[in-house]
Copies of this chain bind each other. A is one copy, B any other.
Amino acid sequence: MALEKRNITSQKESFAKWYQDVVREAELAENSDVRGCGIVKPYGFKIWKLIKEELSRKIDSSGVEEVYFPMFIPLSNLNAEAAHVEGFSPELAVVTHGGGKELEEPLAVRPTSESSMYPTFGKWIQSYRDLPLRVNQWNNVVRWEKRPRPFLRWSEFLWQEGHTAFATEKAARKEVREMLEMYKDLYEYMAIPSFIGRKSTLEKFAGAEMTTTVELMVRDGKAIQGATSHYLGTNFAKVFDVQYLGEDGDLHYCHQNSWGLSWRSVGAVIMAHGDDSGLRLPPNIAPIQVVIVPIYKEDTRSKVLEFAENLKEELSDFRVAVDLRDDQTPGFKFNHWEVKGVPLRLEVGAREIDEGKITVFRRDLNAKTSIPLVDLSNQVEGLLKSVYTELFKQAKDFSSRHIHRIESIDDINDQVGFFEASWCESVESEKLLKEKFSMVSRVLPREFEDKEPKNEKCFITGEPAKHDWLFAKSY
């Protein structure tokens, strides 16, 4: 059966165009009238919802409570922490009029909520008994984007931001690691391997002491920052007076963290798993895990449709759909659900029913197989697990094939992927790398943190190296 034409550029021809095409053809999202802001369509939103539900379970079970703070922040609050305002002020959206009048003080739409929440934390926290304070909110934030890109860079985006306060640096740093692990686990849930560790001075969050990151490699070899977990030290606590009375009877500043993950995770899923036929969704976050396509002629129509409906019933433990459209050919439908990345397609025809089997198309392998009509729910469960394992394996294989150990900046050439190199960690050298190769450090992987660098000398400056880092171009 001939496939209909897919309106998708190949990844090799242009990965950027491929991405745009998939976002459009899989009906995930589209641009809006408001420059830089996007519209997330039902199928795209459902992927985000499934990611969100899993992360929400993880956050809840770690004992963090949900809150809501206003999205408007008086500019004076935002301007209170010097590094923070320097990082965010070029990206602000500013409300100057409200209720028909010019406001006395303009309000920023939150780019992140540190300066919205922490003045209140100062009131909530009195003594050591009030610690730790651990809250999270799911919300929209705005950072004005010059080069918007669906999910990855929109001026308005949805995310969660966790904000916590501890009595000691040790307790705060412990949570930074735990939340980073939580995000790593979340990406594993999406069959995406990740590199976790800390960020360089240049790349850390504006206002943080230390930023840790979950870095993902996507199928053009570039990096996506999948989530971050920051140790803010006492920087904000000093500015917003977040203090507690200790058991020792003295006042101390709280040690604070913030950590967040946005719907750019949807973009990461698209780029980490997609192929030239479109999306390939890991079963855990697939809006439809199994699609049933009935194949019939006029005389077998009612028999096949009835069988398909029964099949759907039998598979009700899964997110399952039957494509009943009468005005489309099976070939069109196959293509439609492949573009949308549905993990399993069951093809049901009259002859197969008679022979007691059905054809299964696995999107991870783009291959068909035949299964007997017994114990279908268990078979499908097994197949979905197998799809997950295969997608994860492919992503891990891709990732390890595209990490290049280099000893000098000249070794980069036009290779694609992540570059592992021993580095002096100076801001100047990173700026140079950025200028020359549009590349920055992505992460000091945790397993390299306590190790000597493999090369004594920095791959850029020749100065003494401190650690082995990963470098890459990024989204």
Q: Which A residues are closer than 8 A to B by beta carbons? A: 30, 32-34, 37-42, 45-46, 49, 65-74, 77, 89-100, 106-107, 109, 116, 119-120, 129, 135, 139-140, 144-146, 155-156, 158, 327
Contact = CB atoms under 8 A, between A and B. Distances in A.
Contact of A97 (B65, B96, B156): B96
Q: Which of A30, A32, A33, A158 has the most CB of B within 10 A?
A: A33
Which 4 A-B pairs rank lowest in CB-CB distance, beginning with the nearest? A99-B144, A42-B65, A37-B70, A94-B97
17 contacts: A32-B69, A34-B73, A37-B70, A38-B70, A39-B67, A39-B70, A40-B67, A42-B67, A42-B135, A68-B158, A91-B99, A92-B98, A93-B95, A94-B96, A94-B97, A96-B96, A99-B146
A92 B103 CA distance: 12
A77 B156 contact: no
Contact of A140 (B30, B67, B140): B140
Contact of A37 (B34, B40, B72, B93): B72
Contacts of A37: 70, 72
Contacts of A90: 99-100
B98 A95 contact: no
Given A32-B69, A34-B72, A37-B72, A95 B109 contact: yes
B66 A46 contact: yes
Secondary structure of the A contact surface, majority rule: mixed
Given A33-B77, A119-B33, A139-B140, A68 B39 contact: yes
Q: Which of A41, A91, A158 has the most CB of B within 10 A?
A: A41
B107 A34 contact: yes
Contacts of A72: 34, 37, 93, 156
Contacts of A158: 68
B66 A45 contact: yes
Contact of A34 (B38, B70, B93, B100): B70
Nearest to A46: B66
A89 B97 contact: no
A456 to B, nearest CB: 44
Contacts of A32: 69-70, 116, 120
Given A39-B120, A49-B66, A120-B39, A98 B93 contact: yes
Given A97-B106, A139-B140, 15 more contacts: A32-B70, A32-B120, A34-B72, A34-B73, A39-B67, A39-B69, A40-B67, A46-B66, A49-B66, A70-B156, A89-B100, A90-B99, A91-B99, A92-B97, A98-B155
A97 B135 CA distance: 31
Contacts of A116: 32
Contacts of A41: 67
